């Protein structure tokens, strides 16, 4: 009689206001934690890159005293490397300094060395060496609209980057500036916000200036993206040319999170908050909502979640993994982290009482990387 | 020629090979900015903790020359005489 070999494990990286925690699991229900790494520095961005035959965790770290930097680990956090000259820094002549790295986004498998980053002040960056050095995207930095982009409450940043794995389309979102699209791999950018409301502006339907909180692409339908706006949940089926509301059926149209399924068409998750002025789960009852029909209908998912929760979930404090079924993960500003091994149907608590959770990212990794994991015979 | 000493807070010492005091020879006065530029050659990560890429001293980094914080003097143009000590201390900040 043989024993079943567990060949894959799961890693969940949790970036908080005061450091990074790493959790590993074989079943996505029981987790082992390490940390804090980078104690007393906030970790608002994480990218887990499983391309190139390795698992590289990249983190945007920011110390209130010592500033921002990017570090990476190829051994699940046992050691960290920080490029001597800094991975992300504004070039001479820009008279700008990086305040915070908001997004680290590994590109598609077809572009194995490419990693994108979004930062504050509003800027997009691209690395071709696996996230060790990034170059400023001049097309966006020199954009004539830049002086008119404003700062959201959390700061003025490019916080979402979505890349078409089979083409040169890149969509970004910024608070506040809205969605911009490039069709040439990032050389030039145009606003694409038609249909997205900016109710807080004198003209509620401007060309740009929307406060889009998060965008995500449908992995299976070319040209389809979803957006969680500052009030408003939207979908586009024509690569951003037109957006239409898909908020009907949700308890609230405010929130920060937008996740999509890594393979299946029409599946997305949001975590609604009551309103701009009341940033708590509706009625204090924490729930994830999932659509499986591209936003026509939504299903409330709260099994295992506390029904008495008054903390918000921030835009990058949620993630999916690539397993089957897909795992869904999120953390709250109250320091609780939840994981679902079944696309949100059931959640278990991974951690509680951590500092404010700013970012979570999850990945399927080789069991050989995880200490204590059963090693295949 | 006398040394100028730069005293590091303990949290930054790992970025200087574990040293708590860095010394640089000087045969006359140099500016704090010059000292930080010199330090960047040997310890680039340490230097980035102190100043951003525009060269601005980070908000919660304080540098003292003879007991005075340089922002109350001439900032990074503050001169340090040979034999003097420069002390780097982080502000009391955060929560």
pLDDT in tens, chain B (95 residues): 689 999 999 999 999 999 999 999 888 999 999 999 999 999 999 999 999 999 999 999 999 999 999 999 999 999 999 999 999 999 876 66
Average pLDDT over residues A49-55: 93
Q: Is the ipTM of this complex over 0.95?
A: no
Are the Cβ atoms of A97 and B94 closer than 8 angstroms? no
Range of the domain at B78: 2-90
Please, what's the largest Cα pairwise distance for chain A? Answer: 72
Q: Which of B10, B12, B52, B95 to mutate to test the interface with A (most CBs of A within 10 A)?
A: B52
Are the Cβ atoms of A89 and B44 closer than 8 angstroms? no
Q: Give the fold, CATH level 3, of A8-369.
A: Methylamine Dehydrogenase; Chain H (2.130.10)
What pLDDT is attached to residue A199? 84
Quote the CA–CA distance of A217 and A110 in Å, as a whole number: 17
Are the Cβ atoms of A97 and B61 closer than 8 angstroms? no
Q: Is residue B95 part of a domain?
A: no
User: What are the residues facing A48 on neighbouring strands?
Assistant: A57
Work out the pLDDT band at A202, boundaries 50, 70, 90: confident
What pLDDT is attached to residue B95? 66
Q: Which residues in chain A have Cβ-Cβ distances shorter than 8 Å to B54? A: 90, 95-97
What pLDDT is attached to residue A201? 84
Average pLDDT over residues A133-143: 98
Q: Which of A42, A64, A66, A69 to mutate to test the interface with B (most CBs of B within 10 A)?
A: A66
pLDDT at A376 over 90: no
At residue A139, φ and ψ (nearest 5 deg) are -60, -40
Q: Is residue B85 part of a domain?
A: yes
pLDDT at A334 over 60: yes
At A16-44, the pLDDT tens digits run 999 999 999 999 999 999 999 999 999 99
The b-or-e profile of B14-33 (16+ CB within 10 A means b, else e) is: ebbeeeeebebebeeebbbb
At A350-371, the pLDDT tens digits run 999 999 999 999 999 988 877 7
What pLDDT is attached to residue A374? 56
Average pLDDT over residues A230-238: 97
Work out the pLDDT band at A206, boundaries 50, 70, 90: very high
Q: Closest partner residue to A69 among B48, B56, B61, by Cβ?
A: B48
Average pLDDT over residues A86-97: 96
Neighbouring C-alpha atoms within 13 Å toward the C-beta of A212: 35
What pLDDT is attached to residue A2? 44
**How far off is chain B from A17, nearest CA to CA, in Å?**
10
- Tokens standing for residue B70: 């340089």
Q: Is residue B42 part of a domain?
A: yes
pLDDT at A342 over 50: yes
Are the Cβ atoms of A84 and B44 closer than 8 angstroms? yes
Work out the pLDDT band at A372, boundaries 50, 70, 90: low
Closest-CA residue of chain A to B49? A66
Q: Is residue B52 part of a domain?
A: yes
Q: Which residues in chain A have Cβ-Cβ distances shorter than 8 Å to B13? A: none
| Domains in chain A: boundaries | 8-369
CATH at B17: 3.10.20.30
Burial class (CB in 10 A: 0-12, 13-18, 19+), A316: buried
DSSP label at A376? P
Query: Which residue in A143, A139, A226, A244 sits closest to A183, CA to CA?
Result: A139
* pLDDT > 70: percent of chain A: 97
CA gyration radius for chain A? 19
Question: Lowest-pLDDT range, A2-11, A122-131, A152-161?
Answer: A2-11
Tally of domains in chain B: 1
What pLDDT is attached to residue A1? 42
Average pLDDT over residues A263-291: 96
Query: Which residue in A157, A227, A230, A179 sits closest to A200, CA to CA?
Result: A230
Q: Is residue B76 part of a domain?
A: yes
Quote the CA–CA distance of A377 and A108 in Å, as a whole number: 32
Residue B54 at interface with chain A, using a CB cutoff of 8 Å: yes
């Amino acid at each position: 009689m043989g024993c079943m070999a567990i060949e894959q494990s799961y890693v969940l990286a949790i970036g908080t206001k005061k450091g990074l925690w790493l959790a590993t699991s074989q079943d996505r229900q029981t987790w082992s934690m390490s940390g804090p790494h980078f104690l007393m520095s906030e970790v608002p961005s994480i990218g887990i890159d499983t391309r190139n035959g390795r698992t590289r965790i990249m983190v945007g770290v920011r110390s209130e005293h010592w500033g921002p930097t990017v570090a990476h680990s190829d051994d699940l956090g046992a050691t960290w490397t920080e490029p001597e000259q800094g991975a992300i820094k504004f070039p001479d002549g820009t008279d700008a300094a990086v305040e915070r790295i908001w997004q680290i986004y590994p590109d598609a498998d077809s572009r194995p060395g490419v990693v994108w980053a979004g930062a504050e002040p509003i800027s997009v960056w691209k690395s071709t060496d696996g996230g060790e050095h990034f170059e400023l995207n001049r097309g966006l930095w020199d954009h004539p609209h830049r002086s008119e982009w404003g700062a959201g409450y959390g700061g003025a940043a490019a916080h979402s980057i979505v890349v078409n794995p089979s083409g040169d389309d890149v969509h970004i979102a910024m608070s506040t500036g809205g969605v911009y699209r490039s069709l040439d791999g990032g050389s030039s950018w145009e606003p694409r916000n038609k249909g997205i409301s900016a109710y807080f502006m004198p003209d509620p339907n401007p060309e740009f200036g929307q406060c889009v909180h998060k965008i995500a692409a449908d992995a299976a339908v070319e040209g389809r993206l979803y957006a969680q706006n500052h009030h408003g949940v939207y979908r586009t089926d024509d690569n951003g040319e037109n957006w239409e509301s898909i908020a009907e059926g949700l308890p609230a149209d405010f929130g920060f999170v937008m996740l999509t399924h890594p393979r299946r068409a029409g599946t997305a998750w949001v975590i609604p908050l009551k309103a701009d002025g009341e940033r708590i789960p509706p009625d204090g009852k924490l729930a994830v909502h999932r659509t499986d029909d591209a936003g026509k209908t939504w299903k409330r998912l709260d099994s295992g979640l506390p029904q008495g929760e008054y903390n918000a979930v921030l835009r990058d404090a949620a993630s999916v993994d690539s397993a089957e079924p897909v795992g869904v993960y999120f953390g709250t500003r109250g320091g609780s982290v939840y994981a679902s091994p079944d696309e949100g149907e059931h959640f278990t608590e991974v951690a509680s009482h951590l500092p404010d959770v700013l970012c979570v990212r999850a990945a399927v990794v080789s069991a050989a990387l995880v200490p204590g994991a059963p090693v295949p015979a | 020629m006398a040394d100028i000493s730069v005293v590091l807070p303990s949290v930054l010492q790992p970025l200087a090979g574990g040293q708590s005091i860095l010394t640089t020879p000087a045969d006359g006065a140099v500016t704090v900015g010059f000292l930080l530029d010199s330090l960047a050659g040997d310890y680039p990560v340490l230097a980035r903790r102190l100043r951003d890429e525009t060269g601005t001293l980070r908000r919660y980094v304080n540098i003292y020359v003879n007991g005075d914080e340089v922002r109350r003097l001439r900032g990074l143009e503050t001169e340090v005489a040979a034999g003097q000590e420069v002390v780097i201390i982080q502000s009391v900040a955060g929560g």
